[in-house]
Chain A
Amino acid sequence: MKTVLQELSVPGPTVTALTEPFWNAVKFGRLMIQHCAACHRAVFYPRTICPHCWADALTWTEATGQGRLKSYSEIWKPGHPGWIPATPYLVGLVELDEGPTMLSHILADGAKVTVGDAVHFAPTQIGDQILPCFKIT
């Protein structure tokens, strides 16, 4: 029987002052990413300076939460033992509609997964954390 995700004992994110707005928003069901006022490009993961143009002009904005699966992997032997009860589980690279790509946990409910699948933001409790997971649309 597959363990429910909230029963896992796994390492959570090491939140910093810089990334706190991102993780706080996830708890309230919102996906916040940064945008650069100078070059108008989206930025993920959070920084203090824009990696595209090096301007000090980043602001937080809410993302649509829509994206596309660029790749995925079904994990049978996790790097951290706390994940073993959940195996096999899916992780994937999600290209957000805004541009940046983030790695995330993918919820597929047993459905067949294909590169290119549309996915949407699905905050999910993993261990004692709410994490920004994605679900196949």
Chain B
Amino acid sequence: MKALWSEAVISGIGELKPERKTDGINTMDLLMRVSAEAAQDAGIEVGEIDGLLVGPQVGETPQHVPATVAEYFGMQPTMSNVVDLGGASGPGMIWRAAAAIQMGMCETVLCVLGNHRNPVLPRSHNRNPAREFDTPFGASGANTSYALLMQAHMSQYGCAAEDYAAIAAGARANAQLNPLAIFHGKPVDVEGVLASPMVTSPLHLLEIVMPVAGGEAVIVTTPGKARKSAHRPVRLLGAGEKITHRAVSQAPSLTSGPLKPSIARALQQAAMDVSDIRFLSLYDCYTIMVAATIEDAGLCKPGDFGQWLSANGGMGLGARQPINTHGGQLGFGQPDLAGGMTHVVEAVRQLRGTANGRQIEDCETALVTGNGATMSEAVALILGSVS
């Protein structure tokens, strides 16, 4: 399979500090602020951006989103779309941007996600079948779905609660190196994770992401335009995507997800083996998600993620393959759909060599995963700093 991605590169990133609550600010302002930061990082003017990918606007306008955002931002893109793959939306934007550039539809794409967090404003109405066939039984929300996935994994492979908790503790440890992280200054060990309240068994409170306000933006462009950035460009070497279901009851498997074929495809396009990857930037809404992703990536046999993590030397900078050095969403916080983009932004930092205070040595390749809904929307990217 010939890689299509030889042209498009990532030249700019923007990131807001997560906040537990926001007051007065709307999502459009957050998106604009983080976009301006990404454009400045890329060394480009707003007039040079001719592609726009945005997420669905929770609590904002439900229709004509690209046009609304373009008008608000003062842009007139020649390619635009809403990308809604839940938590996989961020990584899903990156290959779509690259494909549009490769197709000649545009030259520079702004990919932006974010949300304010004000409990007073209504969220969108839920019309999907889960409302009728899950909610009446007392099973509303993602926590229950992931608990069901985790219990199935635990029962099938006999993994210990400590194995999963180590992922949350590892994320918190990494968050101590990131002043932006919501849990910066608040480390926790495995015992602390297991001592936190049971939310929906076998998930403890500290195995679940903290919702925060925030935003992430990425500029994807041509190598020519990328020269305006002070940083070295980051290349997209491979991508894979698969969507399998929505409700957890409809999952083809409870212990393995669509990231498995997505990661395999991305590695194949990049002509790499997973052992060639230096940095693992893995979507982590819940501890079980990282466990399943380690196994689906082929790093170990199903059920062996705990042993693999120990042999890897944990998740930190000293690990053979460090994981989620920004703290992951478990340590950094989950700024709504932008949560998945934090994994892209951290990979770009590591590949540029600008992850101040938490730089991985000789970091030239990264696997970024995105996961949406109930382990059901998957995107995998291989990013590289190699020319």
Contacts and interface: CB of A to CB of B under 8 A. Distances in A.
Interface string B158-179: 0000000000000000000000
Contacts of B140: 78-80
Nearest to A78: B138
Contacts of A72: 148, 151
Nearest to A105: B137
Contact of B135 (A11, A75, A92): A11
A12 to B, nearest CB: 5
A76 B134 CA distance: 17
Interface in B191-246: 197-203
A61 interface: no
Contact of A103 (B137, B156, B197, B202): B137
B186 interface: no
B11 interface: no
A15 B135 CA distance: 12
B144 A75 contact: yes
A104 B132 CA distance: 11
Nearest to B148: A71
Interface residues of B, number: 33
A15 B67 CA distance: 35
A92 B152 CA distance: 10
Interface residues on A, range: 35 or more
B129 interface: yes
A32 interface: no
Contacts of A92: 148
Interface stretch (B108-116, B247-255, B347-355): B247-255
B136 interface: yes
A25 interface: no
Given A10-B136, A71-B148, A86-B138, A79 B143 contact: yes
Contacts of A105: 137-138
B249 A101 contact: yes
Interface string A77-113: 1111001001011011100000001111100000000
A92 B139 CA distance: 9
Interface string A2-33: 00000000111111100100000000000000
A12 B134 CA distance: 10
Contact of A79 (B144, B152, B155, B247): B144
Given A10-B138, A77-B197, A91 B151 contact: no
Given A73-B147, A103-B139, A13 B132 contact: yes
Contacts of A12: 136
Interface of A: 10-16, 19, 45, 70-80, 83, 86, 88-89, 91-93, 101-105, 114-116, 126, 129, 131, 133
Interface of B: 129, 131-141, 143-144, 147-149, 151-152, 155-156, 197-203, 247-250, 254
Given A103-B139, A103-B148, 17 more contacts: A14-B131, A73-B201, A75-B139, A75-B201, A76-B200, A76-B201, A77-B200, A79-B135, A79-B139, A91-B139, A92-B148, A93-B249, A103-B133, A103-B247, A114-B155, A126-B136, A133-B137
